[in-house]
Amino acid sequence: NAGVTQTPKFQVLKTGQSMTLQCAQDMNHEYMSWYRQDPGMGLRLIHYSVGAGITDQGEVPNGYNVSRSTTEDFPLRLLSAAPSQTSVYFCASRPREANTEAFFGQGTRLTVV
Amino acid sequence: DAKTTQPTSMDCAEGRAANLPCNHSTISGNEYVYWYRQIHSQGPQYIIHGLKNNETNEMASLIITEDRKSSTLILPHATLRDTAVYYCIVRSNAGNMLTFGGGTRLMVKP
């Protein structure tokens, strides 16, 4: 099992550009989520999904879109990148069953100039 | 989900036990205590979780007070590779995702 795979690992964007951060998991987990982590801070929830076709907003959703067309994939789209979106992005997944651990990807380091 | 309070940083000597405290005084009856750690900007890694009984696994032990308002994560023999930020998180079974605070930066020193 590869676990949770994020691509790319690093990305530099110009202000106003759009891009999609990819997240895939091969554990058949229902729940998936996206977090961002700014320097010296804890992770903040952007969007999450409890199953294919279902998404919801987290703590800091503005400027990001998500979709969940399959169980395996949960891409995060930046519509028009801004310097404030410079951060490290983590994707996570876990089974639907309660009392279970979450698995995290290794992160995507995004810089918007 | 209940909020947690952790010290910002702690030091521990290599080979000694590291005891990381966490206060969660507003925890409710159906909320679990989870611990994750993050090593040098890698993705967070699950360590352990518990409801009210003490728990132990190959990585650590979790001691939860009887009133459940605080807990302690114990790394029995800390190594340099245990240097990381440790997050204490309280989540109910109905809670969808994890809410991270600032965590405790543990520095294990030779």
Tally Cβ neighbours within 10 Å of residue B23: 16
Sequence letter at residue A42? G
B46 to chain A: nearest residue by CA?
Answer: A101
Compute φ and ψ for A97, nearest 5 degrees: -60, 140
Q: What is the rounded average pLDDT of the residues B36-42?
A: 92
Q: What is the pLDDT of residues A30-83, one digit of tens each?
A: 999 999 999 888 899 999 999 999 999 999 999 999 999 999 999 999 999 999
Of A45, A48, A101, the CB nearest to B46: A101
**DSSP, res B44:** P
pLDDT of residue A32: 94
pLDDT of residue B106: 98
CB pairs under 8 A between A and B: 55
The structure tokens listed for B40 are 């040098």
Query: Rounded distance, CA A18 to CA A3, Å?
Result: 27
Cα-based distances in Å from A90 to A31, A81, A97, B7: 14, 17, 22, 24
Q: What is the pLDDT of residues B49-63, one digit of tens each?
A: 999 989 999 999 999
